[in-house]
């Protein structure tokens, strides 16, 4: 077990964990930030997507020891009041059904739009392709990303 200082949602946290513990479990179990979901455990579904220094990464396979002083943003830190354009677009398009994948979908979309603020529909589909929605709301997801890009 080692001690780590993590910058999560703009705040410093001290945690103790094994160096190979995925950051997903540190966020959920140690910091009680449960918006980041466990889906597959092999970085294939996207439910665990967080931002690390602004890049969308899968928290289920990233060990806490690899974080260093990088800034972590979880769905809880994207906006406190749901005012982020992606979150607003999700509501406008009534995207969620079961909702389980939605934090990962939103985090992927937010990171993508930060790098590509005016994407084409094909670019949106490509960027969101790695996130699985078992309910199949892909058309609404893509429409919401397009709407968020227009703000």
Give pLDDT tens digits for 3-42: 999 999 999 999 999 999 999 999 999 999 999 999 999 9
CATH superfamily of 85-149: [2Fe-2S]-binding domain (1.10.150.120)
CB atoms within 10 A of CB 81: 6
According to DSSP, residue 22 is labeled B
Residues 6+ apart with CB under 8 A from 70: 7, 52, 53
What torsion, rounded to 10 degrees, do the Cα atoms 47, 48, 54, 56 define? -50
Helix (H, G, I), strand (E, B) or coil at 135: coil
> Can you tell me the distance from the alpha carbon of 45 to that of 5, in angstroms, rounded to the nearest whole number?
28
**pTM of the entire structure?**
0.96
What CATH number belongs to 2-78? 3.10.20.30
At 52-87, the pLDDT tens digits run 999 999 999 999 999 999 999 999 999 989 999 999
pLDDT in tens, 111-123: 999 999 999 999 9
CATH 3.10.20.30 positions along the chain are 2-78
CA angle 53, 131, 147 (to 5 degrees): 80
- Name the segment(s) of the chain with CATH classification 1.10.150.120: 85-149
pLDDT at 151 over 90: no
Concatenating the DSSP letter of every residue in 61-73 gives T-BGGGTTT-EEE
């Amino acid at each position: 077990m080692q001690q780590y200082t993590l910058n999560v949602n703009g705040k410093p946290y001290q945690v103790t964990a094994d160096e190979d513990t995925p950051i997903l479990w540190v966020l959920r179990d140690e910091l009680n930030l449960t918006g980041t979901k466990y889906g597959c455990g092999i970085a294939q579904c996207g439910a665990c997507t967080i931002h690390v220094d602004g890049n969308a990464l899968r928290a289920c396979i990233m060990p806490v020891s690899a974080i260093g002083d990088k800034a972590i943003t979880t769905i809880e830190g994207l906006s406190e009041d749901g005012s982020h354009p992606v979150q607003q677009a999700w509501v406008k398009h009534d995207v969620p059904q079961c909702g389980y994948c939605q934090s990962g979908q939103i985090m992927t979309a937010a990171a993508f739009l930060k790098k590509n603020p005016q994407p084409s529909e094909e670019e949106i589909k490509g960027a969101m392709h790695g996130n699985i929605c078992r309910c199949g709301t892909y058309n609404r997801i893509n429409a919401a990303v397009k709407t968020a890009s227009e703000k």
